[in-house]
Amino acid sequence: MSKNKINLVFPDGSKKEFDAGITGTTITQGISEGLLRKAVGIKLNNTLFDLNAPLSESGDFKILTFEDEEGKTIFRHSSAHLMAQALVRVFPEAKLTIGPVVSEGFYYDVDHPPFKPEDLIKIEEEMKKIVKEDIEIKRKEISTKEALKLFSGNDYKQEIIKNIEEFGEGKTEKSDTVSLYTQGEFFDLCRGPHLPRTGMIKAFKLLKVAGAYWRGDSKNKQLQRVYGISFPDKKELTSYLTLIEEAEKRDHRKLGKALDLFQFHEYSPGSPFFFPKGAAMYNELLTFVRSEYKKRGYDEVITPLIYDKALWEISGHWEHYKEDMFLLNVDGREFSLKPMNCPSHLLMYKTKTKSYRDLPWRVADFAPLHRNELKGVLGGLTRVRKFSQDDAHIFCTEDQMQDEIFAMLDFVDYVYTKVFEMTYKISIGTKPEKAMGSDALWEKAEHALISSLDSKKIPFKISKGDGAFYGPKIDIRITDALNREWQCATIQLDFQMPLRFDATYEGQDGSKHTPLMIHRAILGSLERFLGILVEHFAGRFPLWLSPIQVKLLTISERHEVFADSVYEKLSNQNIRVEKDYRSESINKKVRDAQLEQANYIVVIGDKEQESESVNVRTRSGSILGAKKTEQFIAELLEEIKNKRIS
Amino acid sequence: MSKNKINLVFPDGSKKEFDAGITGTTITQGISEGLLRKAVGIKLNNTLFDLNAPLSESGDFKILTFEDEEGKTIFRHSSAHLMAQALVRVFPEAKLTIGPVVSEGFYYDVDHPPFKPEDLIKIEEEMKKIVKEDIEIKRKEISTKEALKLFSGNDYKQEIIKNIEEFGEGKTEKSDTVSLYTQGEFFDLCRGPHLPRTGMIKAFKLLKVAGAYWRGDSKNKQLQRVYGISFPDKKELTSYLTLIEEAEKRDHRKLGKALDLFQFHEYSPGSPFFFPKGAAMYNELLTFVRSEYKKRGYDEVITPLIYDKALWEISGHWEHYKEDMFLLNVDGREFSLKPMNCPSHLLMYKTKTKSYRDLPWRVADFAPLHRNELKGVLGGLTRVRKFSQDDAHIFCTEDQMQDEIFAMLDFVDYVYTKVFEMTYKISIGTKPEKAMGSDALWEKAEHALISSLDSKKIPFKISKGDGAFYGPKIDIRITDALNREWQCATIQLDFQMPLRFDATYEGQDGSKHTPLMIHRAILGSLERFLGILVEHFAGRFPLWLSPIQVKLLTISERHEVFADSVYEKLSNQNIRVEKDYRSESINKKVRDAQLEQANYIVVIGDKEQESESVNVRTRSGSILGAKKTEQFIAELLEEIKNKRIS
C-alpha cells in the first residue's frame, strides 16, 4: 500500500483503497446519490468525522445516516446550531451558552429574558428560512486567542474557551486550539461533527422552554433552555409528536392522581404517598416477586435503615456516594439513611462463619432506600428520593457465578417476556472513571459477564464506563407500549465489596476464600416500575394488578341485598371489588366505572337477582352477559392466576 | 362530729369514728393481729402514710398490705433502705445517692468502686442480721439546714437537699424542711412512707449490679446500681426466682440468635436485622393483620418516612416530641424521620374534599418508624429505635365513634383471646401533664372511652395522666405465659390533630365539621410483639407462625429423590420446609431439628419411599407415625388455617 493511499473496510466486510485526503462525500457519491442525500457523517475507526473532512487513515469505515444512533446525534446537534442561528437572528441580544443533544432531541441554553410561546414560533419560522437557504456548514480550527476575540462580549463562551485552554475540556488534553463551525453569518464553538448543509434538516419542532442554571449550579444565573426535536422528514416528526401526545395522556402523574393511586406532598419532596389503590398494586407486585423468590431459592430479610458512617467507610459509599445520601446525627455520630442494601447484607453474611455448603446465599430485601436526588430533577415515580427495590444480593463461589447469572437472566426473561409481555435489550456496563479495585479484577469480572451472555447466545451491546463503582454490570432496558426504553433490571458483579468487608467462606479445600457478590434487581425501583406500568398500560391494568378488579352496580335499592352477597363472595376470594349503589342512572354508573378502569363491571337488577347470576361487561364495553356468580368468580381467579394481559 | 374526731370510710363501705391522732397501727390492731403482721402502711384520701403516723383527717381509709400495688411499693422501698443500711455497714466508704422502687424490686445507686458478686453476698448476710434485729423504722421532719449538716461529706445528698430547698424536688413546692427516716444507726432522706420495722422483710435477694450515671447523665460520675427483690415470705421469693430463671431461658435475645431469627449490630443500634427465619415470622404477622384488615374494612397506604419540620409544627410533635425524633437536613431545611404515622394520614385525608359518606375512613400503615430512644436503654426487640406498627387511624364522625371503638375492642379480643390465646387487661389513660387542647375536649373524649367500656360491661381501670399528648386512650395489657404484662394494643381518641390540620368533612347538614381521629394499634410494634411471642412460646411457635414448619430428614442418600418430591409438594403449598440430608445418624438429625423447634419432623427411609408416605413426629417427641404425603399436607394446611396453638 502506497503512503498516499488508505484502505477502508466497509460494514459489509468489503475493502477498498482510496487516495489519502479523500472525503466522505466523494466516497458516498461513488456509492449512490440517494445515500449522499441521507448521509450525515462518517465513522472511521470509532471516530466521527464531518462528511467533508479529508480522511488520512485506514480502518473500519461507515457512512452514517439518521438511522444510526451516532448519525442521529450529528443530525440533532446541527439542529441545535440551526435553532441557535435562528434565535440570534430573531433576538440579537441573546447570548448563546451551550447546546447539546439529549436522548430525545436537543436544546440550547441562552442568556435571555424568558421566551413566550409566540417567540418559539418566530424562531421556528426563521429556522425554516435557514433550511431553505441550505447554507453550507464548515469546520475550522482556530487558536484559543482568536476564539476569545471572536466571542468577546459572551462571558459564557469565554469561560468555555479558557477551560479548553487550561483543562482541555471536552478534549483529551489541554489545548491552544478550538474547533469552530460556521454556517453563513453564524459561528459556534463545537467539537462537531456536523451535517454538510442546513437544508438537510427537513422537519423540526421547538417543544418547550424551561429555566436552567449555567453549569447546572443554582448559584449561577438562570438561563432559558429551549428544547427542540428534529427529523429528516415530516412523517417521522408527525408520528413522534403523536407519540408525545399519547405519552402525555398516559403520564403516570396525571393518571396516578386521576385513578387515586398516589400523590406527592411538598412536606416530603420525592417520597410518594400511595393511596389504598396504589398500595394494593404495590403490594401485588411485592407478592408476585415474593412468590418468584420462593421458587428461585431467595431468602428475604428485614434490615435497619440508618447506619453509622463507619459502615459506609468500609463499603466505599462515604468516598463515592456521600453527596447522594441523607445524613443524620445519631448518638453524636454521623449516620446516613441507606441508599443501597448491599452493606446491610454483608453485615448479615458476616454474623456466622460460612462454608461453601452455605453458598449460594441469595438474600433479598425490600427495605425503603433514600437517595438525595436534587429537588429540581424530582418528577413523579420515575425520579424519587424514597423507594424500595426488589433487591437481592447473591453470595457465591466463582464456580457458581455463571449458573447464578443464567438463573437471573431466566428470572428477567420470565418477568418481562412472560408476565409483562414486554421486550428488552441487554447492555454490559464496563469500568467507570470513578471506580474501586484493580484493573485485573475488573477485567475478570467484565469477561465473566460477556462470556455468560455469549455462551447463551444472548445479544448485548457494551456501554463503556457505565459500570457501578464496585464492578461491571448487565443492564436490561425494557421497551414500553410507546416504544420508550426504561432501564429496570440490573445484574452487577462485585469482587470488591466482599474484600472490603473481609467476608469469607471455607472452601472444600479447608482454607478461606472470598465470595463473589452479585447485586441484582428485576423490577428495580418498585415505585419507578409502577410508574412505568401506569404509562405502559395507560391505567388499564391486567386483572391481577388492577386496583378495582370488579365494580358492582345496582339498578335500584331493592338489589342491594343480593349485590352484598355477591360482594362478600368476591371479597372472600380476595378479589378487589367495589360497590356503586348510588341512585344514579345505570349508564352513568357504567361510565364512571369505565373511567376508574375497573376490569369488569357487573350490573345487578331483577333478572340477575332472580337467577342468582351477574351481568358482566368489560371496561372497554364488551358485553359478556349473564353468568352464574360462581362461574364468574372461577373465571376471575383463573385470569388472576395466569396474570393474563387482556 | 367533734373537732377531735375523724370519720374513716373503710373499703367495704363501713364507717367508723376515731379520735384524731389515732395511728394506723392502733386501728389495724383493733381489727386483727394477723392483719397487723401484714400491714405495711395506710392510704387516707389517696395519700399514703406510715402505719404509725397520727391521722388527723376524715375520709376514705385503707390498710395496705403487700397485696396492694402501693403496699408493694412501701415494702420494696423499705427493702432499699434495708440494703443501704447493710451496704454501708459492710462498705463504710460507700456514698449513698438515691434508692427507688422499680417495677420489679428496687435498687440503690451508690458511689463506690465496682462490687464483686461476693460483695453482694456479704451485703445480703448483713441484711439478714438487720432483719433479725427487727429495728424500728422512724420518720421525722428536720430543717434543710440540719439535713445539710447531717449529710455533710455526701455531695449527692447535699445536691438533693438543696434542690428540695430551691425547687421542692419531689415535694409540691419549695421547702425548708425534709423528712428523714431512721432505723438504728442508719438514716436516709426519704418521703416515705415505710414499714414500721425491718423484721417484716422476710425474703430478699440481691440480683445484680450495673453501672449508672448520677442523674442519668453520662457526663456525671458513674455509680454502682445494686438491684434487689423482696417479698414478705420465702415461698414467693422462690417462685419469683424460678420465674426469672425461666424468663432468662426464654430471653428473646438469646432465642432470637439461637433460632436465627434476628440480631443487632453496633452500626445501627436499636434497629434489628431480621434473618430469613425472623423475616418469615414478621411477614406472617403482617399477612395475618392484612387479612383482618380486609375483613374489617381497613385501607392500607404506603407513606414517606422523612418530613419537613413544618409538618411536625402543625402536628405538635416539634413542640412535644422533638427530642425523640432523628433530625436530618434536606434541601437546607430541617426534616425528621417520622416517629408516628398520624400526620402522614392527615395529609392524605386532606388531598380530597371529604363528605360524611366517605367516613369512617380506616387508614392502615406499616411504615417503619424511628424514635430516638437513649442508646443505654435499648435492649432486644422490646426497646428499639426502628420498628413498624400495625398502625391505623380512623377518621369518623362523633356519631360513628362508639361503633368504631366497639369494633376495635372486638379486633383486640379476636387477636388476643382467639388467635394468641392470651388474657388481657384494659386501662384508660387520662390527660397527662404535657397535653394539647382544652379541658372541655379532654373531658368529652375521656367520657366517650369510659362510657364505651361501661356500656359493654368491659372491666377497666383508670391510669391518671397516662394519655397521649393529643388525647385519652385505652391501653390493653396482655399477660404472657410467665404472667408478665405487656402493653401492646392501644386505642387513642384525638379531637386535636384534625383541628390542627384543619381537616374537615361536609356533614349531612351541608356544613363543614371536624372529624374525630382515632389512633389505634392491635399488636403495637411488630418488632416488640415478635419479641414477646418468642418469650411467650419459648421459641416453640404455633405452626402458622413457625419459621421451620417441617424438617425433612433422609435416612440415607438413596432417599433423597423421594424426599425432594415431598419437599416440592410441601413447598408448593407454601409450607416452610427444610431439608437435612446430612450423613449424620437419624437420631442426631432429629435432635437438631428439635433444637431448631421445627414443628414436624419427617423421616424418610425405605419404608416411606415404597409406600409413598412420610413418617412424622412432633418437636416434643410424639410419634405420629406414617401418613400419606397428601394426608399430611392436608392436616398441616388445616392447622395453619386455624392458627392452632398446639
Label residue B170 by pLDDT band (50, 70, 90). Answer: low
Contact residues, A window 406-465, toward B, CB-based 8 Å cutoff: none
Select from B583, B645, B590 the least CA-distant residue to B615.
B590
Contacts of B372 in chain A (CB under 8 A): 330
Please answer yes or no on whether B273 and A305 come within 8 Å at the CB atom. no
**Averaged pLDDT, B151-163:** 92
> In angstroms, what separates the C-alpha of A112 from chain B's closest C-alpha?
28
ipTM for this prediction: 0.78
Tell me how far apart the alpha carbons of residues A172 and A80 are, in angstroms, rounded to a whole number: 24
Q: Which of A519, A520, A617, A619 is catalytic?
A: A519
CB A150 within 8 A of CB A140: no
**Shortest distance, CA B389 to any CA of chain A (angstroms):** 14
Average pLDDT over residues B435-445: 84
Contact between A300 and B276 using a beta-carbon 8 Å cutoff: yes
For the segment B461-482, the average pLDDT, to the nearest whole number, is 91
Give the least confident one: B362-371, B465-474, B586-595. Answer: B465-474
Predicted local distance difference test score (pLDDT) of residue B174: 78
Please tell me the predicted confidence (pLDDT) of residue B339: 97
Q: A1 pLDDT exceeds 70?
A: no
Of A268, A283, A571, the CB nearest to B306: A268
A523-539 residue pLDDT tens: 999 999 999 999 999 99
DSSP A197: B
For residue B516, pLDDT beyond 70: yes
Q: Looking at A85, A183, A224, A389, which residue is catalytic?
A: A389
Distance in angstroms between the alpha carbons of the first and the last residue of chain B: 64
The reply to whether B314 touches chain A by the CB within 8 Å rule is no
User: Do the Cβ atoms of A267 and B311 come within 8 Å?
Assistant: yes
- B309–A contact, CB cutoff 8 A: no
Instruction: Tally C-beta pairs within 8 A across A and B.
Output: 137
Range 552-571 of A in CB contact (< 8 A) with B: 571
Which residue among A371, A385, A589, A619 is the active-site one?
A371
A3 pLDDT above the threshold of 80: no
Mean pLDDT of chain B: 94
Considering only alpha carbons, which residue of chain A is nearest residue B357?
A: A582
What average pLDDT does this structure show over B426-431? Answer: 94
Q: Which stretch, A124-133, A431-440, B483-492, has highest mean pLDDT? A: A124-133
- Residue A573 forms contact with B (CB below 8 Å): no
What pLDDT shows up at residue B167?
Answer: 75
Residues on chain A touching B276 (C-beta within 8 angstroms): 299-301, 363
Mean pLDDT of B79-106: 95
Determine the average pLDDT of the residues in B356-375: 95
pLDDT digits (tens, 9 = 90+) for A239-293: 999 988 888 889 999 999 999 999 999 999 999 999 999 999 999 999 999 999 9
Residue A447 known to be catalytic: no
Q: With contacts defined as CB-CB under 8 Å, which chain B residues touch A283? A: 300
Furthest CA-CA distance within chain A:
98
Report the pLDDT value the prediction gives residue A170, as an integer from 0 to 100: 67
**Tens digits of per-residue pLDDT, A178-218?**
999 999 999 999 998 999 999 999 999 999 999 999 998 88
- B267, B274, B386 ranked by CB distance to A301: nearest: B274
Report the residue from B268, B273, B370 with minimal CB separation from A308. Answer: B268
Q: Which chain A residue shows the shortest CA-CA distance from B267?
A: A308
CA distance linking residue A208 with residue B534, whole number of Å: 61
Q: B246 pLDDT exceeds 70?
A: yes
Which residue on chain B is closest to A282 by alpha carbon?
B302
Nearest to A396 by CA among A362, A347, A348, A364: A362
User: Are A337 and B306 a contacting pair at CB < 8 A?
Assistant: yes
- In A, which residues are within 8 Å of B300 by CB distance? 276, 279-280, 283
Average pLDDT over residues A403-410: 94
Closest CA to A285 of A530, A534, A479: A530
- Choose the most confident range, by mean pLDDT, from A153-167, A300-314, A483-497: A300-314
Residue A394 pLDDT > 90: yes
Residue A507, by phi and psi: left (phi above 0), alpha (psi -120 to 50) or beta?
beta
Which residues of chain A have a CB within 8 Å of the CB of B344?
273
Query: Kind and range of the H or E element at B227?
Result: strand B222-231
- Residue A519 is a catalytic residue: yes
Give the pairing of strands B299-300 and B273-274: unpaired
Quickly tell me which residue has 343480593 as its cell: A562
Q: Which of A345-354, B73-82, B237-246, B418-427 has the lowest mean pLDDT?
A: B237-246
The pLDDT of residue A173 is above 80:
no
Touching B: A residues 228-267, CB under 8 Å? 263, 265-267
CB contacts of A571 in chain B (<8 Å) are 294
**Any CB–CB contact under 8 A between B30 and chain A?**
no
Write down the pLDDT at residue B3: 67
Residues 351-390 of A with CB under 8 A from B: 351, 363, 368, 370, 372, 375, 386
Question: Which chain B residue has the Cα nearest residue A280?
Answer: B300
Contact B267 A326 (CB under 8 A): no
Of the candidates A548, A275, A260, A546, the one whose C-alpha atom is nearest the C-alpha of residue B301 is A275
Residue B224, SS3 per DSSP:
strand
Instruction: Report pLDDT for B483.
Output: 86
User: Looking at beta carbons, which residues of chain A come within 8 Å of B386?
Assistant: 304-306
Share of chain A above pLDDT 90, in %: 86
B368 closest CB neighbour out of A273, A278, A305: A305
Average pLDDT, chain A: 94
Which chain A residues touch B303 with a CB distance below 8 Å? 271, 273-274
* Torsion angles phi and psi, residue A504, rounded to 5: -140, 170
Indicate which residues of B carry an active-site annotation.
342, 371, 389, 391, 393, 473, 519
Q: How far is CA A423 from CA A233, A335, A373, A419, in A?
A: 28, 41, 29, 11
Q: What is the pLDDT of residues B90-100, one digit of tens each?
A: 999 999 999 99
% of chain B exceeding 70 in pLDDT: 99
Nearest to B348 among A275, A282, A305 (CB): A275
Of A273, A294, A363, the CB nearest to B304: A273
Q: Between chains, do A300 and B306 touch, taking CB under 8 Å as contact?
A: no
Chain A residues in contact with B267 by the CB 8 A cut-off are 307-308, 310-311, 347
At a CB cut-off of 8 Å and minimum separation 6, what does B154 contact?
Answer: B95, B96
Mean pLDDT of B302-306: 98
pLDDT at B1 over 60: no
Look at residue A104 in the predicted model and tell me its pLDDT: 83
- pLDDT at position A165: 81
Nearest Cα residue in chain A from B386:
A304
Q: In chain B, whose CA is at the least distance from the CA of A578? A: B297
For residue A568, give the chain B residue with the closest CA. B295
Are A369 and A338 a contacting pair, CB within 8 Å? yes
User: What is the average pLDDT across B272-299?
Assistant: 97
Q: Is A323 on the interface with B (CB under 8 A)?
A: no
Is residue A540 annotated as part of the catalytic site, yes or no? no
Element (H, E) at B588: helix B586-595
Closest CA to B115 of B183, B207, B188, B185: B207
| Percent of chain B predicted with pLDDT > 90 | 86
User: A286: nearest CA in chain B?
Assistant: B283
B273 touches chain A (CB under 8 A): yes
The whole-number pLDDT of residue B375 equals 84
Average pLDDT over residues A435-450: 86
Closest CA to A521 of A348, A341, A373: A341
When scoring B257, B277, B283, B301 by the number of chain A Cβ atoms within 10 A, the one with the most, hence best to mutate, is B301
Phi, psi for B94 (deg, rounded to 5): -65, 140
Q: What's the rounded mean pLDDT across residues A377-405?
A: 93
DSSP string spanning B515-542?
A: PEEEEEEEEEEHHHHHHHHHHHTTT---
Q: What is the pLDDT of residue B289?
A: 98
Catalytic residue among A225, A393, A551, A576: A393
The whole-number pLDDT of residue A265 equals 96
- Residue A605 CB partners (closer than 8 Å, separation 6+): A554, A555, A556, A559, A615
pTM reported for the whole predicted model:
0.78
**The pLDDT value given to residue B482:** 85
What do you get for the CA distance between the two ends of chain A, in Å? 63
Select the residue of A267, A344, A363 nearest B307 (Cβ to Cβ).
Answer: A267
- pLDDT value at B528 more than 60: yes
* Chain B positions in Cβ-Cβ contact with residue A299 (cut-off 8 Å): 276, 279
Interface test with B, best of A218, A257, A265 (most B CBs within 10 A): A265
Q: Rounded to an integer, what distance in angstroms lies between the CA atom of residue B302 and that of residue A274?
A: 5
Q: Helical H runs in A483-628? A: 497-500, 526-536, 560-572, 586-595, 606-611
Pairing of β B59-64 and β B177-183: unpaired
